[in-house]
Amino acid sequence: MITLENLVKAFGTGNAPVVDDVSLSVPAGAFLVLLGPSGCGKSTLLRMLAGLENPTRGTIRFGDTLVASASQSLPAGQRGVGLVFQSYALWPHMTVAGNVDWPLKVSGLDPAIRRIRVAEALDLVGIADLAGRYPAEISGGQQQRVALARMIAPRPQIMLFDEPLSNLDASLRVEMRHELTRLHAATGATTVYVTHDQVEAMTMASHVAVLNRGRIEQFGRPGDLLTQPATAFVARFVGTPPANLVPVQAGAWLGLLPDPALRGATGLAMVRAQDWHLSGPGPRSLPAQKIEVVPLAGRLVVTCKLGDQRVTVIAEPEAPLPADLHLALPEAPYALFNIEGQPLP
């Protein structure tokens, strides 16, 4: 449904691209999450899909239709997309029903059809009983549902979300993640969702594109990001807690860490938090300094320092923390990357 080819976006002559040579293909009906830290280019990429920014180079296609290139751009209103921003952007002087009706009215739909569409959209997001209220009279979560209803009422083929849950409290975010997943299934629309929250990505996405400095580090299924990270950045960014990346020198694993603050490192060893083991001194262990212990889902997340390196370890709640704390090495690292973060065989 969505194909990006060598997409580039730079603001101003001579500036580094915000989106840098991005190519991917998203199947119809997919739920794609653009995941990455602030400033990685994910919102700019979404704005290009919406028609709010034009590419500097490259192309965007929806199906067989070329919607944007460096020389031409289909107007946003003709792309068949719906967009929900971080702010709800509701008209305060319009009722809930009026807000949802507004884009239908602007498009020139018959009033009878508009009434049906508004009723269907409000019912789908579960706020039909709020149709006559004004935005100031409803909660933040209900306002978010109004924004969703307004987006789906025109029945877009593509739904775009730019961090829509970031203003909600933690419990409401959990509820709205479920609602967005249900909405996606009910509409069948291809969905692109921007977030820096990996929990949102892992719970909602059918596909994830991890972005870093304008480039795609990895594109694939959510589970693949955890089990087969394509780069050291993905290994470090994805996971709760994320994997540890320890500087190492090329050679046999058991000889890689004579000094936790190793100088002259030539690679990075990926050690998952669950693969360390708390221990006392031993031939396969390294001295560590405890920083903090946090309960998480019935287990403990122990943060330690190995020399200058911060690492996390998952331990059972009954596991003792030795006074002379050491971390026992696993038989082998989960993966090895070169110093630039690319995978080694």
Distance CA 277, CA 224 (A): 25
What are the tokens at 134? 């004004």
Quick one: the chain helix, strand, coil %, rounded to 5?
Answer: 30, 30, 40
Give the domains, in start order, of the chain with CATH numbers. 2-230 (3.40.50.300), 240-338 (2.40.50.140)
- Residue 263 confidence (pLDDT): 54
What is residue 176's DSSP assignment? H
Distance CA 150, CA 130 (A): 14
- Residue 260 confidence (pLDDT): 47
Pairing type for strands 207-212 and 57-62 reads: unpaired
- pTM to 2 decimal places: 0.87
Q: What is the pLDDT along the chain (345 residues), one digit of tens a residue?
A: 899 999 999 998 778 999 999 999 999 999 999 999 999 999 999 999 999 999 999 999 999 999 999 999 999 888 989 999 878 889 999 999 999 999 999 989 999 999 999 999 999 888 999 999 999 999 988 998 899 999 999 999 999 999 888 877 888 888 888 888 988 998 899 999 999 998 899 999 999 999 999 999 999 999 999 999 999 999 999 988 889 998 877 554 544 455 544 455 678 889 999 998 888 888 778 888 989 989 888 888 999 998 788 999 998 887 777 788 888 888 888 988 988 899 887
Q: Does residue 103 have a cis bond before it (omega within 30 degrees)?
A: no
